[in-house]
Chain A
Amino acid sequence: DGGITQSPKYLFRKEGQNVTLSCEQNLNHDAMYWYRQDPGQGLRLIYYSQIVNDFQKGDIAEGYSVSREKKESFPLTVTSAQKNPTAFYLCASSIGVTGAEAFFGQGTRLTVV
């Protein structure tokens, strides 16, 4: 089935460790996104990529890094520099960045202890 797969669904890490969240899509979409949700905050944009080997910072990029080596994959690394990493992370993709409907993964809940 076509769609976006995020893994794992739940992730636990110790404070100070980097962790990478996976996002894969088989929709042949050029654009991919990472959002973070905290209680009462809605979805906040971390990074997005319009095309392979290109990405732009969103509103809350500090402490995160991404890569876009393949069209299908847009992994997000939460580094030890991210002060409050515990959150729900959603990956999405769309045909293009502007005006195109976004399709979302199921999300990864990251807990840092």
Chain B
Amino acid sequence: ILNVEQSPQSLHVQEGDSTNFTCSFPSSNFYALHWYRWETAKSPEALFVMTLNGDEKKKGRISATLNTKEGYSYLYIKGSQPEDSATYLCAQNQAGTALIFGKGTTLSVSS
């Protein structure tokens, strides 16, 4: 069974703080790494899909990096806002197989 690990499990920050989460995954047979945001009472929504070692992607205040050789990805949120409160899911594809998710990092941002 493919094992995707995320840390921390939960995180509480103040508005304006910057924060980051980690996703680690097996580097063998790697194809793609996904990040999703899951807000309460909504469906998970994709943030990034990354495939190449060294990939960096950015969407507004949120960015992500990928290291396929050592098997990790970081998600960064700059200047956290209350609307960033959500569970952030990391998932990995190996070639020809479905996404396998980590347990997620739950972020709470206080104003």
Contacts and interface: CB of A to CB of B under 8 A. Distances in A.
B99 A106 contact: no
Interface residues of A, number: 26
A101 B91 CA distance: 11
Interface residues of B, number: 27
A99 B89 contact: no
Given A99-B51, A101-B49, A42 B98 contact: no
Contacts of B93: 97-99
A42 B49 CA distance: 19
Contact of B101 (A31, A40, A43, A103): A43
A104 interface: yes
A56 B45 CA distance: 24
A77 to B, nearest CB: 19
Contacts of A40: 103
A103 B49 CA distance: 13
Contact of A97 (B49, B91, B96): B96
Contact of A102 (B1, B46, B103): B46
A10 B102 CA distance: 25
B109 interface: no
B98 A104 contact: no
Interface of B: 1, 6, 31-32, 34, 36, 42-46, 49, 51, 89, 91, 93-104
Closest 5 CB pairs of A and B: A42-B103, A99-B32, A104-B43, A48-B98, A43-B101
